[in-house]
C-alpha cells in the first residue's frame, strides 16, 4: 500500500498539517487556557467563538456560498469569473470593514481620530464598483483579444 492510499493525501500535506497543529499547540501553551476560556462569561470566550464560527461556517455558510457559486456557474457561463472574483473581494472587504460601515463604535472612533465613520459605507460601495469595473474591463480586453486572435487565424 502506498502512503497516499493509507493517509489520503501526500506526505507534504501531513507535514504542513503537523506544523499547523504544533503552532496551535504552541499558541495555546503560550497564551494559556484561562485566556481562551472564561467561566464567568463563557459565551464571550475565544474558544466558544472559534468553535461557533467554525460550525457556522462549515454547516451553514459554506453550503450556501457553494450553492450560490454552482448556480452562478450555470447562469453566467463565460462571465462567471468576471463576477466571482470581484464578488469575493466585495464580501471579504465587507467582512473586514463591517463595523465601520455600520458605524459601530462611532463615539470611540471619533474620539480617537477626530473623524466620523459616515463615509465608510459610500467608500465601500465605490470600492465594490471599482472591483467590478476593473473585472469587466479585463473581461472585455480578453474577449477582444480572443476575437482578434480567432479572426487572425481564419485569414
Is residue 3 domain-shared with residue 75, that is, in the same domain? no
Say whether both 129 and 72 belong to one domain: yes
Is there a single domain that holds both residue 132 and residue 115? yes
SS (H, E, C) 80-93: HHHHHHHHHHHHHH
Is the domain of 71 the same as that of 87? Answer: yes
For 121-140, what is each residue's pLDDT tens digit? 999 999 999 999 999 999 99
Whether residue 20 is found in the same domain as residue 75: no
Give the model confidence (pLDDT) of 91-112 as tens digits: 999 989 998 999 888 899 899 9
Q: How many domains does the chain have?
A: 2
**For each of the chain's 155 residues, which pLDDT tens digit applies?**
788 889 999 999 999 999 999 998 998 889 887 877 777 777 677 778 888 888 998 999 899 989 988 888 888 888 888 888 999 999 999 989 998 999 888 899 899 999 999 999 999 999 999 999 999 999 999 999 988 888 877 66
Residues 147 and 103 both lie in one domain: yes
Same domain, 56 and 83: yes
Nearest partner of 135 among 81, 91, 94, 90, judged by Cα: 81
Range of the domain at 27: 1-31
Residue 15's φ and ψ, nearest 5 degrees, are: -65, -45
Indicate whether 6 and 17 sit together in one domain: yes
Give me the chain's average pLDDT, please: 88
Map grid coordinates 501531513 to a residue: 14
Do 25 and 50 belong to one domain? Answer: no
Amino acid at each position: 500500500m502506498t502512503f497516499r492510499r493509507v493517509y489520503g493525501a501526500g506526505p507534504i500535506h501531513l507535514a504542513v498539517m503537523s506544523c499547523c497543529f504544533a503552532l496551535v499547540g504552541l499558541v495555546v501553551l503560550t497564551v494559556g487556557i484561562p485566556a481562551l476560556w472564561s467561566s464567568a462569561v463563557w459565551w464571550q470566550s475565544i474558544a466558544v467563538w472559534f468553535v461557533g464560527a467554525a460550525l457556522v461556517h462549515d454547516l451553514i455558510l459554506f453550503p450556501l456560498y457553494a450553492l450560490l457559486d454552482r448556480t452562478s456557474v450555470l447562469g453566467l457561463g463565460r462571465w462567471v469569473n468576471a463576477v466571482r472574483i470581484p464578488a469575493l473581494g466585495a464580501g471579504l472587504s465587507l467582512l473586514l470593514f463591517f463595523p465601520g460601515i455600520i458605524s459601530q463604535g462611532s463615539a470611540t472612533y471619533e474620539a480617537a481620530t477626530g473623524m466620523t465613520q459616515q463615509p465608510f459605507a459610500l467608500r465601500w460601495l465605490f470600492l465594490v464598483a471599482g472591483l467590478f469595473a476593473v473585472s469587466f474591463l479585463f473581461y472585455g480586453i480578453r474577449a477582444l483579444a480572443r476575437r482578434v486572435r480567432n479572426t487572425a487565424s481564419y485569414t
